[in-house]
Structures are given as structure tokens and as C-alpha cells.
Amino acid sequence: MARVIKIGAAQSGPVQKAEDRDSVVGRLLELMKQARSDGCDMVVFTELALTTFFPRYYAEDRALMDIWFETAMPNPATQPLFDYARDNAIGFSLGYAELTPGGDHFNTQVLVDKKGAIVGTYRKVHLPGHHDHQPWREFQHLERYYFDPGDGFGVFAGFGGVLGMAICNDRRWSETYRVLGLQGCELALTGYNTPVHYAPDPTQDRLQGFRNHLVLQSGAYQNGMWVVGVAKAGEEEGCTLLGESAIVAPSGEIAALCTTDGDELAVAEVDLDMCANYKETLFDFDRYRRPE
């Protein structure tokens, strides 16, 4: 029996500082409803989906930034997403800022099944940006200041296959896909908030869209897996964020693509059995890879 799941890549338009959690969750819920009407089994939301991209701001007292973090998941603001998933048999993946009871701060993503239960949690490994305030920048990129690094990549059984997660900068690194691939990953879910302007070298700005698809497509092809990349896009607090959310097949081909910078759903039928065409031939890890 074919293992085909229908996925909605739920791109978010900008989230401004003044927009509260309830408003953002309402927008995400509308995308879930659209996905359900399109027959989707799963919706993939972006990185830090519930808030503006707050690492662009500096606070000398880091504790002042804890307002952007979730201390529980689900919580009263996000419970409607979990309720809708349970009541309508549709799963989702959600990125958010996590503050643990022990005081650790993570850039986190969860995988939620069709019963509304969390079946996987991932914390971002490859933290980009800088640790210190750099006033020369038009905006900061202080992920290394506000977040602790996660401890690695794992896979989770669900939706008839083997799933993994990654977040934003993770998608640029070959290790991400290789480590997931060595664990049999068939579907990798990743959200991103990518500024079009790269302050350390603005000559790279024009290549942001090309490179985004380059890494998603090469990661999918070289590891025989589907890859879903979902953006927060558009003009957010004066910072232009890249869109171009995509669902990529193990062949490296783009199966679905967002074309706006706003809230948008791109939908594709994902045949997990297609992974074997690559995992058991050209990219047969057991036969050809030398991880040692």
C-alpha cells in the first residue's frame, strides 16, 4: 500500500512586535482550516511562528526578552491549534521560542500527530548570528545571545513514515541532512526566518532565494528524503524576510512553492515510498557511505 501523505507548507506573512499571540494563532488556525479543506494530513508552520523575529533586538538584560518565550506547549494561546488537530485529524509542526523550567532558552520545533499529541521535539543546533550587541548593523541577529544550542538531530515515527526536524540555519549544513539520513529520515520539516539583507556581506543579498532552494534541494536529493522548508516572509519591523517556502521531492525537484510574501499555503502529495528510489540505489548509505 502506497504511503502518501498530503502536506501543507503554511508560510506566514510578517508578525509585527505589537501583534499578540492570540492574533497570530488565529492566522495559523486559518491556514490549518484551509489545509483541512484541501485534504491535508499535516501542516508545517515556520520557525518562531508565534512572534516577531525578536533576535533582531538587543536587551542588555536578557530576562527582558523572556516575554517572547513559551514556558509550556501547549499553552492557553496555542491550545486552539492542538484542539483543531485533535478534532479534525490533522497533524502539524510548529516552531517557537522555548523557556524550560530549568531556565534554558531554545529555538524549538514540535511535531504534533492527528490526535493533537506532541510526538517529537527538536531544538535548533546551528545557531547563527552573534553574541554581542553590534550597533553598526541595521538590525541585530542575536540568536547566539538569546538561545542555547540543542543537543542533536533525532527522528520520529509518524504519518506512516520516519520524520525529522530542523530549523532555519540548520538547513544550510550538510550534517543536518546526513545525520537525519543515517537514521532513515524520509521527511524533514524545517522553518526559517531569513533576512534578505546579510549585513556582514551585502553582496550575498541577491542570492538568498537561490541559496535557500539550493540547500533544500541538494539536501533532499543527496539523502533520498522529502524536505519541507517554510518561511516567515515579508516586511517585518523594517526587515525584509525571504519567502519562497517549498516542498522538495527526493529527486531534488520542487513539488510545491509559495509565490507571495504573506500567509499562504503550498500543498503537495508526498509519496514516502519514493525515498527508496534513492536510498536503495544511488544514495544507498549502507553500501556506499563511509561515516567512520
Q: Which of 40, 47, 70, 258 is catalytic?
A: 47
* Per-residue model confidence as pLDDT tens digits over 59-103: 999 999 999 999 999 999 999 999 999 999 999 999 999 999 999
Which pLDDT does position 91 carry in this prediction?
98
Which pLDDT does position 289 carry in this prediction?
86
Which pLDDT does position 222 carry in this prediction?
97
Which pLDDT does position 140 carry in this prediction?
97
Which segments of the chain have a pLDDT < 50?
Answer: none
Task: Identify whether 239 is a catalytic site residue.
Answer: no
Residue-wise DSSP of 75-98:
-TTTHHHHHHHHHHT-EEEEEEEE
Which pLDDT does position 18 carry in this prediction?
97
Q: Which of 40, 70, 98, 124 is catalytic?
A: 124
Which pLDDT does position 292 carry in this prediction?
86
Task: Identify whether 232 is a catalytic site residue.
Answer: no
* Per-residue model confidence as pLDDT tens digits over 127-157: 999 999 999 999 999 999 999 999 999 999 9
Which pLDDT does position 291 carry in this prediction?
77
DSSP 8-state code for residue 273: G
**Bridge partners, 111 (sequence order):** 93, 120
Residue 276: how many other CB atoms lie within 10 Å:
12
Burial 211-242 (b: 16+ CB within 10 A, else e): ebbebbbebbbbbbbbbbbbbbbbebbebbbb
Which pLDDT does position 2 carry in this prediction?
80
Q: Which of 40, 70, 168, 258 is catalytic?
A: 168
Which pLDDT does position 290 carry in this prediction?
86
Identify the CA nearest to 187 among candidates 3, 1, 2.
Answer: 3
Dist. CA 143–CA 106, nearest whole Å: 10
Task: Identify whether 279 is a catalytic site residue.
Answer: no
Give the predicted TM-score (pTM) of the model. 0.97
Q: In what order do the strands lie in the sheet containing 246-248?
A: 155-158, 161-167, 187-192, 226-231, 246-248, 254-257
Identify the CA nearest to 18 among candidates 193, 264, 271, 236.
Answer: 236
